[in-house]
């Protein structure tokens, strides 16, 4: 507590003490703020380290050009960082997804919405892998996305096994359909041949002459008895 003095010197001393106290409080506040910032930076660094160990992270500009990729991103793509920076994510499209799939994804993030889904990517050696992908648009002051952060995590190989089984099942189903159509065609052909054979048998067994012609007078059918008399 400061006790004001009557003399001018006393008032000056009181003011100086007050300034020192305020400066001390300011310095303490600054020190606490810096300590908080250092703590937040360390926490962010720890989170980044954990994320880099777990996921593939890439940053693109508004046009989709890659501006940053962590080590895991480069390892999965089998490219060096220099090979990827400046490229577009389309550099390693697998061809598995339709154009509508990518249009829907772009429409979502262009509106500032976080997109999440599964994507099949292709590496430099043309091998493929499935990744769970989250794309986060970073919106600027104008409300429009300026950057996109893509976070990808590997999907277990069991999904690839399931995909192989599904492809095999579809192929077997296709083959079964073709076999069924072939059997139906053969059955229809057999019935036609049997019907024709029966017709010929009845025709040949007829005791009388049987001759059939079309409206133009051309003979189109005759049995053995009629043929013998021709």
Q: Cα–Cα distances in Å, from 93 out to 121, 124, 151, 167, 204?
A: 6, 11, 17, 20, 70
Considering the domain architecture, whether residues 62 and 83 belong to the same structural domain is answered as yes
The CA distances from residue 26 to 1, 22, 165, in Å, are 18, 6, 68
In a domain, 209, yes or no: no
Own/partner contacts of 186-194, CB < 8 Å, gap of 24 or more, are: none
pLDDT at 141: 86
Q: From residue 195, how far is each of 143, 185, 222, 225 by CA, in Å?
A: 77, 15, 17, 21
132 & 185 share domain: no
Tell whether 60 and 149 lie within a shared domain: yes
Whether 91 and 125 share a structural domain: yes
Mean pLDDT by 10 residues, the chain (230 residues): 50 68 84 87 81 84 89 84 83 80 88 89 81 89 88 73 70 78 80 69 51 47 46
Residue 73 CA to residue 51 CA, distance in Å, equals 12
Q: In this predicted structure, what is the pLDDT of residue 148?
A: 92
Containing domain of residue 123, as a range?
55-155
Residues 26 and 45 in one domain: yes
Residue 225: inside a domain, yes or no? Answer: no
Are 114 and 96 members of one domain?
Answer: yes
Q: Looking at the structure, tell me whether residues 50 and 128 fall in a common domain.
A: no
Whether residues 141 and 160 fall in one domain = no
Number of structural domains, the chain? 3
| Boundary-marking domain end, from 137, 155, 173 | 155
Residues 161 and 148 in one domain: no
Task: Assess whether 31 and 103 both reside in one domain.
Answer: no
Buried b (16+ CB within 10 A) or exposed e, 97-134: eeeeeeeebeebbeeeeebeeebbbbeeeeeebbbebe
Question: What's this model's pTM, rounded to 2 decimal places?
Answer: 0.51
Quick check: is 142 in a domain?
yes
Whichever domain contains 83, its CATH number is: 3.30.450.20
- Phi and psi for 77 in degrees, rounded to 5? -80, -15
How many other β-carbons are positioned within 10 Å of the β-carbon of residue 4?
Answer: 9
Determine the pLDDT at residue 9: 54
Contact residues for 85 (Cβ-Cβ < 8 A; gap 6+): 66, 67, 68, 69
Q: Is residue 77 part of a domain?
A: yes
Residue 131 is predicted with a pLDDT of 85
Please indicate, yes or no, if residue 66 is contained in any of the structural domains: yes
Distance CA 32, CA 36 (A): 6
In a domain, 216, yes or no: no
Residues 60 and 150 in one domain: yes
């Amino acid at each position: 507590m400061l006790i004001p003095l009557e003399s001018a010197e006393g008032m000056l001393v009181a003011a100086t003490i007050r300034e020192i106290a305020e400066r001390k409080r300011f310095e303490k506040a600054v020190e606490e703020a810096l300590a908080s910032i250092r703590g937040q930076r360390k926490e962010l660094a720890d989170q980044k380290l954990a994320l880099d160990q777990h996921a593939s992270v890439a940053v693109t500009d508004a046009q989709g050009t890659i501006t940053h990729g962590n080590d895991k991103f480069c390892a999965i793509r089998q490219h060096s960082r220099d090979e990827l920076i400046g490229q577009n994510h389309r550099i390693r499209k697998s061809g598995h997804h339709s154009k509508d799939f990518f249009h829907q994804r772009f429409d979502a993030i262009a509106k500032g919405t976080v997109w999440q889904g599964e994507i099949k990517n292709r590496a430099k050696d043309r091998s493929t892998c499935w990744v769970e992908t989250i794309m986060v648009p970073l919106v600027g002051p104008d409300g429009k996305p300026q950057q996109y952060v893509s976070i990808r995590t590997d999907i277990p190989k069991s999904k690839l096994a399931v995909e192989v089984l599904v492809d095999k099942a579809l192929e077997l189903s296709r083959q079964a359909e073709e076999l069924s159509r072939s059997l139906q065609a053969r059955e229809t052909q057999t019935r036609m041949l049997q019907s024709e054979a029966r017709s010929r048998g009845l025709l040949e067994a007829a005791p009388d002459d049987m001759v059939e012609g079309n409206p133009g007078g051309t003979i189109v059918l005759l049995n053995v008895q009629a043929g013998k008399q021709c």
